[in-house]
Structure 1
Amino acid sequence: MSFANITNNIRNAAQALLNGEEPDDSYPGAASRKLPQWNHGLFAQDLVFNNIFPRDVPTDGKTMKSPRDNPGTVRSGTHHGTRIAMTEMLQRIEQRFESYFDVANFDANVPQDRDFVAQRLLYTWQEPGTTSPSYPPCLAMIPPQDKTGLLQIFNAMRLLDTGITLHRIIPPVIDDWVYGTPEAQTMAGCERANVKLRTEDKNIGQEANIADREDWYTDAAFAQQSFTGPNPSSITVASADWVEKFMKTADVQGLKDMHKLLQNAGNTIYIQDNSYFREAVGADAQAELKSDDGKRFGCAAVTLFQLNHEGRLHPLSIVLDYRGSMEKSVVIFNKRLSASDPSRMEGEDWPWRYAKTCSQVADWTRHELDSHLTACHFVEEATIVAGYRSFDKSHVIYKLLEPHWLKTLSLNASARSALVPSIVTKINGFSEAQTYAFIQDAYNKFDWESKYIPNDLKARGFDMAKLNNNMFRNYAYAKNMSLMWPALHEFVKAVLVTNYKSDMDVKNDKSVQTWCTEMRSPTGGRMASFPVIKTIEALTNAVVMCIHIASPQHNAVNYLQCYYMSFVPSKPASLMAPLPQTIEQLRAYEETDMMASLPINNSQVWLMSSQLPYLLSYRVAEDQTLLNYAASLQQLASQKTGKEWQAVSAAAMDFHAKLLELGTMFRKNSDAMDKDIVAYHVMDPTEMAVSVLI
């Protein structure tokens, strides 16, 4: 027996309580709800009972190679019991890494007095090629100069094997698996199962998800996610070349109306272009994307949209899996040419619904591995390590950025140890090697200055000067970011000019130049796109970017995951059956084919896919918000003497007031969207995390 099952020696009433059944009223303290969490002590005992603990896998401190073998998992468990076990285990893993980072003084709970020389010796880069699996530039958890101290602690804590314990508590069989029942073998059955679990799974399962909407699968709900879903920063205006490719394909398929629409669409055509996936993972253009065991499949979908003048984004066509050319790929066009076309048959158009699922699988990959994990977590880590190696604690940039480094280093270390190898690689549609290659490719292609919000929005076809046009009223992410970036810029510049009076001051600041060198170095941050900073404006933008990634951008891509992704059919991590190879095969698809592509009969994949968004979507504590940061800075700076501190206090006060104003404006942007669109409050300053802390 394990913590995921109910032990036989518990009284019947208590057993009913654990199963979520109505308990015997005679049992003292009985309540008709499931356990909100496992008792910490008993959970630990059961881990030991089941031999689930990190193995003694020491490192020499130079290489960080995690064991690749899997020592096995618990045999079976319940749905609810496993969900709360996953939550408990991940929290313990994160706390384990936090403990090490505290003891090692990387992120000490009680600040330590150290000089800059000691700081540089502590914060060092992990040498390229010394981690297995391979990750982008990161902190060396055992500094090169450490001979015995931290190395002994690291090995004693068994951190190299800690992450594997997360996967070991997820059983291959869920005893009460509702999605595996005959009743759940249809999409309507999945929807009913979702309602059942949402009703019964109190505490851990009560969060809303997109399947609460009856229209979750429609073109409107699907398209809007490119604007206000968990991955709102990858949609871009379609190039003339892409439009031409789709026009030719429409011709081949005899779709004259679609050809005419594309020909006359002007600048209203947008695209989610994932055609680069195979190149990113080093696969041949015709190679099948699939997991190492051959049971899960990925795809490089390309989705074409039209944005009408009323602001409605509508999907026109989908390439299921781009294989080097349109001729070698399966391309389907929407029967509905516009958002206003009749929608009553959308639920029964299974070939099109399957195509939208392929698009969502590709978007899951791009979101989790690129927009979220790499472009936020790992890029921010590079700036943190470079920052510690460049600025002493008295430097203005250190003072500006250090509060935005809260928990990020230890969190990333636990993600590399646990979340990626124990969950992501067990549910996505790539091999493990391809998964890590994709992450590396995303980091290598991250273009620092092009990601500045004004540059990014303009390049993707959403010029900030035009966002008040009615055409863009449903793109709340862009409208919010176009306001947040200038607010951050104004605040950061007001603080920087207390120390820099001219561009020459910036150019002559050796710490700033060291920061640039650390970020660009092949043995450091390995980011050649990071600017060589010589002006106040360039420095302001670089610092704003660091805060932008840590706070508003990470908020936007992280905290909506539970709503949009916990109902697996809405955005699966992979497909459970090979993709159709011809348009004729796709056109013959029925509901049974759609269901066969979902992990309804693989409880482990479904449960991990559903639970991962929950694990990443905890609410931010009030003291860890950007608004609280501004208020705290204002009060602390006001208590110090000198003109510089008074200027900082004034800048913080203005920033705090601006954030409150932005909160009102963000709510107005959300309210201005079409009424059937889910409200967009993910950037509320009162709940916006100050750092990448989850």
Structure 2
Amino acid sequence: MLVYQVTVYTGDRVGAATLNNVHIKLVGTDDESERKWLKSLVIFRGSISTYTVSCPNSLGKLVLIELDKRHNHLTPDDAWFPEKVEIKSPEGNIYTFPIHCWISDRETHRFREGKALRIFDESHSLGQYARKQELSHRKVCYGWDCFDAGMPNSIEADGPCSLPSEIQFSFTKTAEFGYTALTALTELHLKGLDDNHRNWENLDHIKEVFCNKHTPISDYVHEHWMADWLFAYQFLNGVHPTLIRRCKTLPENFPVTDDMVFIPNGSNLSKELTLGNIYLCDYKNLDGFPANTVEGIQQYLTAPLVLFHKRDNDKLMPIAIQLKQTPAEDNPIFLPTDSTYDWLIAKIFVRSADFTEHQLNAHFLRTHLMAEVFAVSLLRKLPMVHPLYKLLIPHTRYTLHINELARSQLIGPTGVFTKYAASGGEVLNRIVARSLSSMTYRSLCIPDDIADRDMQDLPNFYYRDDGLQLWDIVYKFVQGVIQYYYKSDDEVQRDSELQTWIGNIFQHGFLSQQQTGIPQRFNTVPELIKFATMVIFTCSCQHAAVNNGQYDYSFWMPNTPITLQRPPPTKKGTTSEATMLQTLPPISVTVHGIAVVWLLSRQSSDFVPLEHYPEDHFTEETPRQLQKDFKAELDTLSIAISNRNKGLDIPYTYLDPKNIENSVAI
């Protein structure tokens, strides 16, 4: 008899162990073993248990294993989470079978040996069958749904608890998320703020909300929020650094003239436009949408245009604001030389519009919804043994769960956005749909986006500096992995699963809109490398850039109002401190908005940084070494960013690799 040594690794997570009977069968190129009962399986989570399977003849090269679980009448029917199975053959070969999923039923589950295989590499009939069976099962578990017309498709689910177990939050994540939300809401309730519909009588009272939850940057914003330089700085290094662009020619609907604006050192607007020192934020994406009604009061949402000038000291300063898209006598252009409150209220309307554009376009659509599309397409179209599955699956962790929570608790009928944001309700979906129709592939790739916005040389643009370095590091890693598996363009073109995957993304994520520039198929290795780089960057780096600083810049509500309850001024000289306080959201709306960004900015204790891969999907030495090299380069970048930040009044930490989660998980 020939003896195969089988080592079973049970996951180190709550509920991972089992009291049930587990059976295994080994399948090789020449033969297969009998179904073997793994007696006395250690029930503790994190356990490593070794068994032997005897066979009369060699099985040849191992192709897959079959696992099944049966409960007996003396124990409850529970779930089991095996991480992997390692098998040492009589010939001394070591085979690793990655699993990383829950087994909770009585079905037979097949898992492939860890070496990545493309579909045309499959030579064994049972391997081909297992591949098809896996994808057929996944299509049932991960269906497509349409949340609303014009929006990217989402996973078909009836809330997060209906999702397959392996993509749900861990017990730790669930407990911490619930506790954070509960404590925040309890604090507001005990202070009598959550149901207080009065307006703020004094801005200083806002700081008493979550008085023990300040951050260094939130305190800095509270102190300097009225300063023009901080207003401008946030468009570069705040949570929405993707809208501003260089302006060489003024839009026709923004009639700012030389004699309106003050340019230091005797220059003028026309000259500075030619020199490339003028920058623009245009919120045309929000134009024409009616605002929500909050607590029975009509709200207001504008679509401003904002002009900036780069001073000789390299600081960016706002020089003109128009709050609506169409020039008119009742739509004045506000200037820094106007009265204090005229200029301040104009900036407040811009910051409120920025809240909407950031949350719905830059954050929700371009990271959360895109990551969901990438995740569902990956799970439906690529089997575990596919090299692209192994490369990308770590970057989908918790994404489908957090998005289901968002649909129910943020944008659903009773969600916080629906109840309290100017862009809540029906208009939210319409804004997202318009944003999708104008989104391009190039805008999702930071080197192309920076070039298209002509932002390559603006000083003190740390999002750009850190983001481009991250893109290059991710690209190098992805290039190494993909070129290891795909030696030619022909191999990319022959991979039917790969082509089906990108076609699925084009259809369900971008609704087959060709103007987006999203590939419909891959023809070359470089095309595949760039797209996979974009997927990883979007799910990790880009999400960190637009998510992690939300509380820093939104805790002080006047800096980023979730809504405004008075219309924008139609003439200058009509604004005062009293009208500003009446325009800002009332106490109850303010505190619910702050509570949400507090919750969405908390880092979980099971946070997995970009450079870590706790689940071993790759078993070959080359991709595993590439992962180590990837981590080393990110560690070096992290040190460089930390050293730079020591000299900054406002450290830019959001793209420090140690602060970037591997996936959209919050």
Normalised by the length of structure 1, the TM-score is 0.68
Structure 1 stretch displaced more, 131-140 or 567-576: 131-140
2:283 pairs with 1:269: no
Contact in 2 for aligned 1:179/1:185 (Cα 8 Å): no
Q: Which of these residues, 469, 490, 508, is aligned with residue 494 of structure 2? A: 508
CA–CA distance in 1 between the matches of 2:404 and 2:163? 19
Q: Specify the SS of the correspondent of 1:305.
A: strand
Tell me the residue number matched to 1:497: 483
Superposed CA offset, 1:96-136 (max 9, x none):
xxxx9x9xxxx95569656222122322211x4xx469853
The 5-angstrom pairing of residues 473-484 of structure 1 reads 474-484=460-470
Q: Which of these residues, 585, 589, 593, is aligned with residue 605 of structure 1? A: 589
Tell me the residue number matched to 2:318: 315
Q: Specify the SS of the correspondent of 1:392.
A: coil
CA–CA distance in 2 between the matches of 1:237 and 1:396? 40
Structure 1 stretch displaced more, 511-520 or 172-181: 172-181
Q: Which of these residues, 423, 426, 430, is aligned with residue 433 of structure 1? A: 426
Q: Which of these residues, 207, 215, 222, is aligned with residue 224 of structure 2? A: 215
2:659 pairs with 1:692: no
Higher helix share: 1
Tell me the residue number matched to 2:334: 332
Cα separation, partners in 2 of 1:240 and 1:215, compared to 1, 3 Å: same
Tell me the residue number matched to 1:371: 362
Cα separation, partners in 2 of 1:311 and 1:680, compared to 1, 3 Å: same
Q: Specify the SS of the correspondent of 1:624.
A: coil
2:201 pairs with 1:185: yes
CA–CA distance in 2 between the matches of 1:579 and 1:590? 13
Q: Which amino acid is 1:313 matched to?
A: L
Any gaps of 5 or more consecutive residues in structure 2? Answer: 1-78, 82-99, 111-132, 165-177
Q: Which of these residues, 444, 449, 460, is aligned with residue 453 of structure 2? A: 460
CA–CA distance in 1 between the matches of 2:509 and 2:192? 51
The 5-angstrom pairing of residues 72-221 of structure 1 reads 113=110, 115-126=134-145, 128=146, 131=147, 135-141=151-157, 176-177=192-193, 185-186=201-202, 190-191=203-204, 193-197=205-209, 201-202=211-212, 209-210=218-219, 213-221=222-230
Deviation at 1:310, TM superposition (A): 3.2
Cα separation, partners in 2 of 1:397 and 1:328, compared to 1, 3 Å: farther
Q: Specify the SS of the correspondent of 1:389.
A: helix
Q: Which amino acid is 1:123 matched to?
A: Y
2:453 pairs with 1:451: no
Tell me the residue number matched to 2:351: 360
Highest CA radius of gyration, 1 or 2? Answer: 2
Contact in 1 for aligned 2:370/2:509 (Cα 8 Å): no
Structure 1 stretch displaced more, 520-529 or 683-692: 520-529
Q: Which amino acid is 2:367 matched to?
A: C
CA–CA distance in 2 between the matches of 1:178 and 1:429? 18
Q: Specify the SS of the correspondent of 1:686.
A: helix
The 5-angstrom pairing of residues 503-652 of structure 1 reads 503-521=489-507, 526=512, 528=514, 529=516, 530-531=518-519, 532-581=521-570, 583-584=571-572, 587-599=573-585, 602-621=586-605, 624-629=608-613, 632=614, 640=619, 645-652=620-627
Deviation at 1:171, TM superposition (A): 12
CA–CA distance in 1 between the matches of 2:625 and 2:101? 29
Superposed CA offset, 1:242-277 (max 9, x none):
2x654x4446x8668699621110211111110231
Q: Specify the SS of the correspondent of 1:692.
A: coil
Tell me the residue number matched to 1:349: 340
CA–CA distance in 2 between the matches of 1:226 and 1:254? 23
Tell me the residue number matched to 2:250: 241
Cα separation, partners in 2 of 1:651 and 1:349, compared to 1, 3 Å: same
Q: Which of these residues, 670, 676, 692, is aligned with residue 645 of structure 2? A: 670
2:402 pairs with 1:411: yes
CA–CA distance in 2 between the matches of 1:142 and 1:179? 30
Cα separation, partners in 2 of 1:179 and 1:563, compared to 1, 3 Å: farther
Contact in 2 for aligned 1:125/1:523 (Cα 8 Å): no
CA–CA distance in 2 between the matches of 1:178 and 1:149? 32
Contact in 2 for aligned 1:178/1:184 (Cα 8 Å): no
Structure 1 stretch displaced more, 374-383 or 290-299: 290-299
Q: Which amino acid is 1:438 matched to?
A: I
Q: Which amino acid is 1:502 matched to?
A: S
CA–CA distance in 2 between the matches of 1:212 and 1:256? 26
Tell me the residue number matched to 1:15: none
Tell me the residue number matched to 2:233: 224
Cα separation, partners in 2 of 1:220 and 1:249, compared to 1, 3 Å: closer
Contact in 2 for aligned 1:230/1:557 (Cα 8 Å): yes
Deviation at 1:527, TM superposition (A): 5.2
CA–CA distance in 2 between the matches of 1:262 and 1:563? 33
Cα separation, partners in 2 of 1:485 and 1:291, compared to 1, 3 Å: same
Contact in 2 for aligned 1:620/1:689 (Cα 8 Å): no
Superposed CA offset, 1:204-247 (max 9, x none):
567761456522221011110011111111111125132x654x
CA–CA distance in 2 between the matches of 1:568 and 1:622? 30
Q: Which of these residues, 291, 295, 298, is aligned with residue 295 of structure 1? A: 298
Q: Identity of counterpart residues, as a percentage? A: 23
CA–CA distance in 2 between the matches of 1:559 and 1:607? 19
Cα separation, partners in 2 of 1:525 and 1:184, compared to 1, 3 Å: closer
Cα separation, partners in 2 of 1:395 and 1:175, compared to 1, 3 Å: closer
Deviation at 1:621, TM superposition (A): 3.6
Cα separation, partners in 2 of 1:257 and 1:228, compared to 1, 3 Å: closer
Question: Superposition RMSD on alpha carbons, in Å?
Answer: 3.7
Aligned residues: 519
Q: Which amino acid is 1:503 matched to?
A: D
Deviation at 1:522, TM superposition (A): 6.2
2:473 pairs with 1:487: yes
CA–CA distance in 2 between the matches of 1:540 and 1:615? 35
Contact in 1 for aligned 2:194/2:588 (Cα 8 Å): no
Q: Which of these residues, 417, 434, 438, is aligned with residue 424 of structure 1? A: 417
The 5-angstrom pairing of residues 54-65 of structure 1 reads none
Cα separation, partners in 2 of 1:278 and 1:570, compared to 1, 3 Å: same
Tell me the residue number matched to 2:308: 305
Q: Specify the SS of the correspondent of 1:317.
A: strand
Superposed CA offset, 1:574-607 (max 9, x none):
11212212x33xx3311111111112xx332011
Cα separation, partners in 2 of 1:562 and 1:517, compared to 1, 3 Å: same
Cα separation, partners in 2 of 1:137 and 1:184, compared to 1, 3 Å: closer
Deviation at 1:428, TM superposition (A): 1.9
CA–CA distance in 1 between the matches of 2:433 and 2:323? 24
CA–CA distance in 1 between the matches of 2:381 and 2:222? 50
Higher strand share: 2
Contact in 2 for aligned 1:138/1:378 (Cα 8 Å): yes
Tell me the residue number matched to 2:72: none
CA–CA distance in 2 between the matches of 1:451 and 1:680? 21
Deviation at 1:430, TM superposition (A): 3.3
Q: Which amino acid is 1:120 matched to?
A: K
Q: Specify the SS of the correspondent of 2:544.
A: helix
Normalised by the length of structure 2, the TM-score is 0.70
CA–CA distance in 2 between the matches of 1:537 and 1:245? 41
